[in-house]
Structure 1
Amino acid sequence: MVTSNDEAVIVDLHNDLILLVDHFDHRGRPEHFSEFWLPELRAGGVNVQVLPVFVEAQFQSEGALRRTLLLVERIHRLASRHLEVAVCLTGAEITAAVSAGRIAFVIGLEDADVLGLSSLSGAHLEYAEELCELLRENGRDDVLFVVGGTVPPEDAETLKGFGVHEVFGPGTPTARLVEYISHHARRVRLT
């Protein structure tokens, strides 16, 4: 058992955890997470578990988007079956989960070709501008950046001026989003 400061937040980045959970689930062992991984995380004092989603070579190219969505769905189903963990999308959700004694699951996508920002808070301009700057600073001008949510139409041109490639407003059919991403991913350069 690891002894740590009660005030410390311990973050683990076990990069193949969700792949192992998926592996055991497909082999008829869905209890593997609760019997092995959950006790391991607790014994290590982990408060926040970052779950990088990496698409294995056999799924890259045509199957990458599908595989990514399946792994994200697997993470959500895992959290719904285990009350000791919570999928968290914001800092406030992480704080709430840790305060409640739960392990906060944070999903991270490794080497993504597409970045999507969904905003319901009205902070889309600030977030998008900062993310565009970070993409440029890190030499990731190959990432397709799309924004969706409750974005006023008049903000679309401002977002595109930052470097966002496309803006999808409320009610956009999923098929349109998938078609856009399928056609434009890996064909972009931020200007």
Structure 2
Amino acid sequence: MQREHYTPLNLVPIVADSCAVEDAAYARKVTADSPAVDVMTDLRLVAAATIGPDLPLPAATQSMIQRGVRSLFVVDDTHAMLGLLCADQVLGEAPVKIATARGIPQAELTARDLMVAADRVEAVDMDDVMRSEVGHIAATLKRSGRHHLLVVQRDAAGKASVRGVFSATQIARQLGISMPSGTIAQTFADIEAALVA
């Protein structure tokens, strides 16, 4: 039922130099003992970064840059997950090797050519996440050697959907550490140091 009349809210002035802009990623500092959900990107609240499987690789790379993400969900027309495309795959040696092996220019490669197929992507269950802390997530990411970890949730019928994403970059940011420009091992060494501090 739609209301016929909505009363406007009162407008208040913003005074220069006395009003800060909040940034949830920075304002919400965490520790190793903080609830894991505090560092999870909840896809019920934030739109998932998705692309189609036939998107050319240069366009997929540009999509990552424009969205400020390091991974994209590759989905079909029904929004079913086909795979995951990560910056490491796009920016690494894989495009050169695949293009060379096929005898085609790199620009002709698509997201499908470099994505990790959905049946090869591992995830954690939302029920486990709800009982976990940031330290558990950092340890899981480190053990897997990945920058990202998906969170799945099942409905009453048992059908799974991706509910969230953990990112080593996001965790580091919320721990208040600057992200190193080195390897995943260096990233986790910095995260571990922050967790025990």
Question: If each structure's helix is expressed as a fraction of its own residues, which one has the higher value?
Answer: 1
Higher relative contact order structure (alpha carbons within 8 Å, sequence separation ≥ 6)? 2
- Same fold per superposition (TM over 0.5): no
TM-score (norm 1): 0.24
Question: Highest Rg: 1 or 2?
Answer: 2
